[in-house]
Amino acid sequence: MEDKTVTEKLQDLDLNPEGKTKAELKAERARLHKLRLEKQGIIDHKQSGENLDPKKDLSKKPALSKQERRAIQEAQREAKAKAKGSDVSKRGGTSTSTNLNTHDDKNKNDRIGLGIGKDLSSLGKLKGGISHGSILSHGTPEIGGGSGALNGTSKFPNYPSFGPNLRENEMLLESAVINSKKIRMFEHLEVPNDRVFSGHVIDKWRPSSLMAIGYDEEETDVNSNNNKISVPGVGGSVSGSTAPSTISKRKKDFFQIHPAIKSLGLRMASSMLEGSNERTKAMLEAFSLIIYDYKTPPQNSMARHLQTYLNPQIKFLVQQRPLSVGMGNAIRWLKEKISLVDIDQDEASTKKELITNIRNYVNERISAAVESIAVNGSAKINDGDVVLTYSHSSAVFRLLTHAFSVNKTKFSVIVIDSRVGFSGQKMVRKLVASGMARNPDVLDSLSMYDNSRKCSSSNEFMGCGVSYALITSLGYVMKQANKVILGAEAMLGNGAILSRSGTAMVALAARNYHVPLLVACETYKFTERVQLDSVVNNELGNPESLVILPNERNSNWMKYSQMDRNLNSKDDSSCLLISNTLNSLSYSPLSSDRFSAWPNLNNRRTLPDPTKPSSNQIGVFGGNNTGNLAGSTPGSGGPPSNWSLETLTPNLQILSKDRAVNNMTAVAASLSVSSKINNNSIYNKSSVLDPVDKELANAKWEIFENENPLVNWRELTNLKILDITRDITPSEFVSVVVTEVGLIPTTSISVLLREYKI
Amino acid sequence: MTFFVVVFGLFVVSTISELILKVHEASDKLIKDSNNAISMTAGCAVFLQVLNRLSQVDIMVPFFLSFFLSFLSFFLFFLLSTPFFFFFGKDLDKCRRLLIESGEGLVQKASQCREIISNLSSSFIRDNMVILVHSHSRVVMGALHLAAKQNVRFSVYITESRPDCSGLKTAQELQELGIPCKVILDASIGYIMEKVDLVLVGAEGVVENGGLINKIGSYQLALIAKAAGKPLYALAESYKFVRFYPLNQYDFSSSFQRFTDFESTSSDIDWPQYLEKNSPSVDYTPPEYINFLFTDLGIFTPAAVSDELIKFYLD
């Protein structure tokens, strides 16, 4: 009870003193900012234009009547209290709640709930009359007050209906929810350890930046508020003492964030932009845009002020997704460059100098580095080699294509892939597009009779080919490989590789079979940091993505909700789309059929049959969930073949049976059934177009639950699910590191760092 | 190496880049023709690096100066048809002289290197030790010689090291020095290893990860020594360090590996008729089987080789 009064005070402090005028000003500013964003072409016009109107309604209407505003707050508080009560009663002694409740600072304690409550309530507000709140599926008991806040909005009767804008708004919201799930990399250094492994961390889910960009100016409050208090162990006391002033300051900071950075942050958070090199390039590009647009405030020198201007931008990026080591190095380099700028130098020339420097950095340290890695590394690939690689890496891809197209080496590639990202499929697609999977006959006629090169191994006829296997079949596939080439996110000071999780497994298997392991890594990714295992420091993924099987994941709950609408409007176009997807998912379950795509793997002595039409040589091993790959074959069409946001984003959560049944239409369930049985005859359109039957949906939910027994994992207090995205490969597994300065052993990384300050 | 420097003195060139090109050509030819390709590669690379560095540091300063002067001279003596060449030639002479000096320095250093290595390694050879030596190596001979001169009493097993039986040459030299020695068959290394306290090998080349490229049989010797827990020391001059990174035995470029003919010792089978008798002449010993490398720069772990190479070639 006391908590509430404190909150009230805080609220009053924050909102009341200057009243409406201030709020209106803020709203105005938010809208201006959004317009500016549009100008930058970040949000496309249709979408943002339509969103602008509801936003106006949103930001102005609450500001008009104070009572209504009060009502909302009241509702939030209630909800929060309810949720807290249920939370504590439900999972009495679990880590999260104890952490929260035993903390001295009641103030802060309260604001955690408040922040999230508000956060979600705003979502709810936006959501409004759209549909059944399917998006808000993370309104669990754990996440305080989410559902309560939803109820709160029902006290707000004059809510405008969105009408035709429904779809766009929902899309935005969806991505907002996705963004909110991104987790900071070093978070578990800041919070007590047990919180990391429990999926129940409340404040782990970041508030979306999309929300912050422009719906409701209150969001920015919540946003900054939430960020600050997300570190209860460390930052608590600070935030508790100087609450209102810092909030307003942070809000100010937020509006200074450059649109280029915002768009970059969103792209990174939504996994549209992946890969250390790509991210670093994009980040530096954004920075040069910032510097270009930068105007030195009066009585400030650029050299001094630019640094402080950049810091919030970087912070924003970190919030969206933790920076990779390469990005950190690039930022450090840029800051050093800025600090070296002469104070008296005029703005134009400083800008020019810095932008040129950035461009040079991108060219020399990233682009040219990748090229010379390709040259250095491809010399190690000989005719007849079978190169195994894991997941996607731009450097490895360049290396392989260089060996293939410039050196004209005849070798084959096995791409190993794993959940959750399945980025190996991207690699396969790129390799196939580059012609690696061409018919070996064509290749033979190109270079087989070239006497200058002799095949090192006996299987001279081994043509080029790309095969794809999941990491579960590593033990079998590794026997056939004679080189393993991996990419790295960073090389640590002790020679260990920091890379996508699964790399260590591949390295271990390579070691076991005595296959030399090459690691392609640009020197800008070298770091002096040392890390003994991958638990001390890691980037956490969304645990939800481990829970639901890839079949469901690929067909994506977002689509279900879309389909729901389509069903109601009797529009079956998207149903057709899904049926295409399903068709493309189905492939022969007989392993022999799949292996025959590549005779060499089936039987090393078998020569490729020239009469066989083997234009697209992709062997698919042992995976029963390779939906996206199947989509890659030309002509199959369907949504998974393009790497859109939907296919890459983690699906939304399903947290309770009731809600799921509401959300999940008969279509969704029948999808899962049919994909499980892998028989398309079960799936027909008539079942799709059946009206949603509650009974049926319940039954199908059970099937779904059977397939995904962990769907309710959040309700099981002692079940923890951890999705770590990086791992550490010890240096002794690595035969050689391919860098732009040559091939070096892992022991020399520290020397390069020390001697050359790379 | 000496030959190389002498040949170098005979080049007639008019620009520095032409000089560098010629040196490259010459070194390629040398590597191709020599029967010890890996150490020749290493030596030539050292020389080329010296040349590069000289042309960047020592030459460029007088070069620009002379450029300036030649402009002056162009106005003063415009009757001279080639004022540029006049100064260029002068510079190149200087460059060539410097290079020849440094080349000769390298050659001289080579013999000093062996002395330094002998001094370093002789303290590891103590009384009553049994030492296993592979093939023939001047550095190893130098080390054993010095130890014997210091009145250390030790005995040596020498592998025969077919196909060229260079172990016999070692045995002969050791007998002349009065060191007790025995020649064993290559096949009996495993049998003898239990008695041995120390394994010494030379090297044709030391590759970037600290591994060795050496006479065929070194790898199996190292494997057995590792399995038996006996220390294996490699003795190599630092100019044998080469920027080359083999991943496995078959990762040599074709110029490094040579296949040799060998004769059968048993006479009752007429085997050359139907059997191929090609044997590789060198193999690659990975760094994990080497305890220490004794070089003129000091005693290294294999990992330190790469550090030295990086320092030398990346500056």
- A751 closest CB neighbour out of B208, B251, B307: B307
Number of domains in chain B: 2
Q: Are B259 and B306 part of one and the same domain? A: yes
Which positions in chain A touch B254 (Cβ < 8 Å)? 454
Angstroms from A173 CA to nearest CA on chain B: 52
- Does B15 fall in a domain? yes
Q: Are B153 and B71 part of one and the same domain? A: no
- Does A420 fall in a domain? yes
State the ipTM, two decimals: 0.78
Angstroms from B142 CA to nearest CA on chain A: 31
- Tell me how far apart the alpha carbons of residues A557 and A743 are, in angstroms, rounded to a whole number: 46
Q: Are A8 and A21 part of one and the same domain? A: yes
- B208 closest CB neighbour out of A380, A743, A751: A743
Q: Do B243 and A756 touch (CB under 8 A)?
A: no
Q: Do A745 and B208 touch (CB under 8 A)?
A: yes
Residue A451's CB is within 10 A of a number of other CB atoms, namely 5
Q: Are A312 and A400 part of one and the same domain? A: no
Q: Which residues of A touch B (CB under 8 A)?
A: 380, 382, 454, 456, 483, 516, 518, 735-736, 741-745, 747-748, 751-752, 755-756
Closest C-alpha to B281, from B205, B229, B175, B199: B205
β-pair partners for A416: A390, A469
Closest C-alpha to A737, from A377, A367, A276, A280: A377
User: Which one of B209, B245, B309, B315 makes the best mutation probe of the A interface by having the most chain A beta carbons within 10 Å?
Assistant: B245
Q: Are A449 and A549 part of one and the same domain? A: no
Q: Are A554 and A537 part of one and the same domain? A: no
DSSP state of B241: B
Which DSSP string do the residues of B60-127 spell out, in sequence order? HHHHHHHHHHHHHHHHHTTTSS-HHHHHHHHHHHHHHHHHHHHHHHHHHHHHHHHHHHHHHHHTT--T
Q: Are A576 and A673 part of one and the same domain? A: yes
Q: Are B16 and B43 part of one and the same domain? A: yes
Query: In tens digits, what is the pLDDT along chain B, a chain of 315 residues?
Result: 444 555 555 555 666 677 777 777 777 777 776 666 777 777 777 777 777 776 665 444 444 444 444 444 444 444 343 344 444 455 667 777 777 777 777 777 777 888 999 999 988 999 999 999 999 999 999 999 999 999 999 999 999 988 888 999 999 999 999 999 999 999 999 999 999 999 999 998 999 999 999 999 999 999 999 999 999 999 998 888 988 899 988 887 666 777 777 776 666 666 666 667 778 888 999 999 999 999 999 999 999 999 888 888 876
SS3 A366: helix
pLDDT of residue A516: 94
Q: Do A518 and B247 touch (CB under 8 A)?
A: yes
Does an H or E element contain B285, and which?
strand B282-285
Q: Are B240 and B143 part of one and the same domain? A: yes
- Does B116 fall in a domain? no
Q: Are B138 and B59 part of one and the same domain? A: no
- A744 closest CB neighbour out of B248, B250, B310: B310
Rg (CA), chain B: 24
- Tell me how far apart the alpha carbons of residues A386 and A383 are, in angstroms, rounded to a whole number: 9
Q: Which residues of B touch A (CB under 8 A)?
A: 208-210, 243, 245, 247-248, 250-251, 254, 287, 303, 306-307, 310-311, 313-314
pLDDT of residue A22: 60
Q: Are B302 and B247 part of one and the same domain? A: yes
- Does B115 fall in a domain? no
> What pTM was computed for the model?
0.62
Report the amino acid identity of residue A73.
Q
CA dihedral B24, B27, B29, B33 (to 10 degrees): -170
- Extended beta strands in A465-532, E state: 465-470, 483-487, 490-491, 497-500, 517-520
- A751 closest CB neighbour out of B208, B209, B310: B310
Cβ neighbours of residue A347 under 8 Å, at least 6 residues apart? A295, A296, A302
Q: Are B290 and B227 part of one and the same domain? A: yes
Q: Are A345 and A423 part of one and the same domain? A: no
Q: Are B74 and B130 part of one and the same domain? A: no
Q: Do B254 and A454 touch (CB under 8 A)?
A: yes
Which positions in chain A touch B287 (Cβ < 8 Å)? 745
Q: Which of B80, B110, B140 is the last residue of a domain?
A: B110
- Tell me how far apart the alpha carbons of residues A29 and A218 are, in angstroms, rounded to a whole number: 12
Mean pLDDT (10-residue bins), chain A, 758 residues: 46 46 68 68 45 43 56 67 51 38 41 39 39 35 34 38 49 53 40 36 37 36 37 34 48 70 88 89 93 86 86 89 92 92 86 94 94 94 91 94 90 90 90 77 46 40 74 91 94 93 94 95 93 84 74 44 41 37 31 30 32 41 38 35 34 38 44 46 43 70 76 79 88 93 91 79
Q: Are B163 and B231 part of one and the same domain? A: yes
Q: Are A68 and A120 part of one and the same domain? A: yes
Q: Are B167 and B303 part of one and the same domain? A: yes
Judged on CB neighbours under 10 Å (0-12, 13-18, 19+), B112 is exposed
Report the amino acid identity of residue B269.
I
CA dihedral A639, A645, A646, A648 (to 10 degrees): 90
Residue A444, domain extent? 383-541+726-756
Angstroms from A379 CA to nearest CA on chain B: 10
- The domain that holds B304 is classified in CATH as 3.40.50.10470
Q: Are A431 and A491 part of one and the same domain? A: yes
Pair of tokens at residue A431: 């390799």
- Does B168 fall in a domain? yes
- The domain that holds A463 is classified in CATH as 3.40.50.10470
Q: Are A564 and A511 part of one and the same domain? A: no
Which positions in chain B touch A744 (Cβ < 8 Å)? 208, 245, 306, 310
Q: Which of B54, B84, B110 is the last residue of a domain?
A: B110
Q: Do B210 and A745 touch (CB under 8 A)?
A: yes
Q: Are B27 and B57 part of one and the same domain? A: yes
pLDDT of residue A693: 64
CA atoms within 13 A on the CB side of A311: 6
User: Which one of B307, B308, B313, B315 makes the best mutation probe of the A interface by having the most chain A beta carbons within 10 Å?
Assistant: B307
User: Which one of A386, A452, A747, A757 makes the best mutation probe of the B interface by having the most chain B beta carbons within 10 Å?
Assistant: A747
Residue B130, domain extent? 123-314
Angle at B288 between CA B287 and CA B294, to 5 degrees: 55
Q: Are A438 and A517 part of one and the same domain? A: yes
Q: Are A526 and A554 part of one and the same domain? A: no
Per residue in A289-316, pLDDT (tens digit) is 999 988 888 888 888 888 888 998 998 8
Whether the Cβ atoms of residue A83 and residue A147 lie closer than 8 Å to each other: yes
Q: Do A745 and B311 touch (CB under 8 A)?
A: no
Indicate the length of chain A as a whole number.
Answer: 758
Q: Are B106 and B129 part of one and the same domain? A: no
SS3 A379: coil
- Does B248 fall in a domain? yes
Q: Do B303 and A752 touch (CB under 8 A)?
A: no
- Does B260 fall in a domain? yes
Angstroms from A511 CA to nearest CA on chain B: 13
Q: Which of A322, A345, A370 is the last residue of a domain?
A: A370
pLDDT of residue A252: 56
Which positions in chain A touch B248 (Cβ < 8 Å)? 516
Closest C-alpha to B235, from B146, B78, B116, B148: B116
- B247 closest CB neighbour out of A380, A742, A755: A380
Q: Which of B61, B83, B110 is the last residue of a domain?
A: B110
pLDDT of residue A67: 64
Number of domains in chain A: 4
Angstroms from A371 CA to nearest CA on chain B: 18
Backbone angles phi, psi at B127, to 5 degrees: -55, 145
Q: Are A182 and A36 part of one and the same domain? A: yes
Whether the Cβ atoms of residue A119 and residue A212 lie closer than 8 Å to each other: no
Place of tokens 């709950």: A557
Pair of tokens at residue A181: 């799930």
pLDDT of residue A650: 36
Chain A, nearest residue to B248 by Cα? A516
